[in-house]
Amino acid sequence: YLAHQDEWESNARSYPRRLPIALAEGFGSYVRDVDGNVFIDFLSGAGVLSLGHNHPEVAKAAAGRLQVLTHALDFPTPAKREFLDAQLSMLPAALRDRMKVHFCGPTGANAVDAALKLCKTATGRGGVVSFQGGFHGATHAAMAVSGLVSQKEPITDGMPGVHFFPYSYCARCPLGLKPDSCETNCVSLLERSLQDPNGGIAKPAAVVLELVQGEGGVIPARKDFVQRIRALTRTLDIPLVVDEVQTGAGRTGTWFAFEQYDIEPDVIVASKALSGIGLPVAIILYDKRLDTWSPGAHTGTFRGNQAAFAAGVETIKIFHRDNILENVQKRGIQLQTRLAALETHPWVHEIRGRGLMWGIELADPTTKSPAVTEAAAVQYHALRQGLIVELGGRDDAVVRLMPPLNVTEEVIDQAASIIIDAVTTSCP
């Protein structure tokens, strides 16, 4: 399979290069490759499979819908209405009546693009502020507002008017400050730039923010950082777009991560895990006052995946019935507690995360430079021991752990043992 792919598939493919396996089937937190090897899957389709592979009830709901209506563009359908109502019901009460949904087609990057267009239309302004190390997708506009440089090379021109500011990456502060005395100077920098009439930047159409940078290395933003950005954008009347493509739909222990920051965003971008089992669907939820779009202003053929809608509704039912958010919190603490054994390891720079989204940043003990080779070795060692994990971060030196959200205590325990062994063996 891998040789066949080498010959016929685009060179841009990524995962199989570091994880050289061909997948045959999945079940819950496990996948089996074509040679019959079984792996614990802590990649979860890049955070998509919140209820694991082939969740039987969700798969059944999706399959049932496929026998009734497979495609309906953006016409109203019963499945779409149920999905929309279910999504709105997951918002905090204060936001529920203020928000509308736009169906974007069908990936996270498409939804980020839609959010940017919406804010530009509503404000009549150009320009976007986003953050160093952020990732928003691979379409041209989503890429242009992504600050994760490695994902943009070798595209040299971005989008005019995009300005990057430091993120609260305190383990390697971009301003060289200490977290307890920095007074979130990174936000002060943004504040000065937005307010300085001489030499500042023009008021942008939007500020786009990940609350936990996922691809950037699992970096939860500091609460004061987020709250100051929210206050600033409110004062200046700039829509705040939170990109919850990866953090949303339960990954961090609340339905959306912004709930943990006590803020109300103007636009929420959601996709990946909305259908629970990986059927494509992407939406933006946004404040009704931004809805200045004229009919047909933002279209797309695949904006009505009926099977994904049915799966999404079933997923939310299961979240309630099986207390999935509570499981995320409990299993997250379990994973964090086990990983604490690595905290004093000389190659471990920082262990961080929220809910079931964790990262172990590796660095050379002497130079503190990102331990790129060692991280790749940890990933490969884990694979050989039966655990699939992802790498991320500015230099791919962060080992990322993203189990399905209904993962059991036993599976977390087994995976934690493998990862501890992988770090210990690969970083001597």
* Cβ closest to ligand PMP, residue 14 vs residue 67: 14
Q: Pairing relation of β-strands 282-287 and 99-104?
A: antiparallel
Residue 42 burial by CB count (10 A; 0-12/13-18/19+): exposed, middle or buried? buried
Distance between CA atoms of residues 395 and 379, nearest Å: 14
Distance between CA atoms of residues 177 and 179, nearest Å: 6
Question: What is the per-residue binding string for ligand PMP in 170-199, x denoting contact by CB under 6 A?
Answer: ------------------------------
Quick check: 238 binds ligand PMP (CB under 6 A)?
Answer: no
Quick check: 245 binds ligand PMP (CB under 6 A)?
Answer: yes
| The binder of ligand PMP chosen from 41, 113, 210, 395 (CB under 6 A) | 210
| The binder of ligand PMP chosen from 184, 271, 275, 306 (CB under 6 A) | 271
* Cβ closest to ligand PMP, residue 45 vs residue 52: 45
> Which of these ranges, 185-193, 198-206, 239-247, 328-336, lies near ligand PMP under the rule CB under 6 A?
239-247
Residue 242: what are its φ and ψ, rounded to 5°? -100, 125
* Cβ closest to ligand PMP, residue 135 vs residue 169: 135
Quick check: 105 binds ligand PMP (CB under 6 A)?
Answer: no
| The binder of ligand PMP chosen from 113, 191, 215, 374 (CB under 6 A) | 215
Distance between CA atoms of residues 207 and 200, nearest Å: 15
Taking CB atoms, the residue at the shortest distance from ligand PMP is 108
> Which of these ranges, 87-95, 106-114, 180-188, 420-428, lies near ligand PMP under the rule CB under 6 A?
106-114
| The binder of ligand PMP chosen from 91, 112, 190, 206 (CB under 6 A) | 112
Residue 307: what are its φ and ψ, rounded to 5°? -65, -40
| The binder of ligand PMP chosen from 109, 226, 240, 283 (CB under 6 A) | 109
Distance between CA atoms of residues 240 and 319, nearest Å: 28
Distance between CA atoms of residues 276 and 62, nearest Å: 11
* Cβ closest to ligand PMP, residue 137 vs residue 393: 137
Task: Give whole-number Cα distances, 98 to 94, 189, 260, in Å.
Answer: 8, 31, 19
Quick check: 136 binds ligand PMP (CB under 6 A)?
Answer: yes
Q: Pairing relation of β-strands 357-362 and 267-270?
A: unpaired
Quick check: 332 binds ligand PMP (CB under 6 A)?
Answer: no
Contact (Cβ atoms closer than 8 angstroms) between residue 339 and residue 142 = no
> What is the Cα Rg of the chain in Å?
21
Quick check: 390 binds ligand PMP (CB under 6 A)?
Answer: no
Which residues sit at the interface with ligand PMP, rule CB under 6 A? 46, 107-109, 112, 135-137, 210, 214-215, 243, 245-246, 271
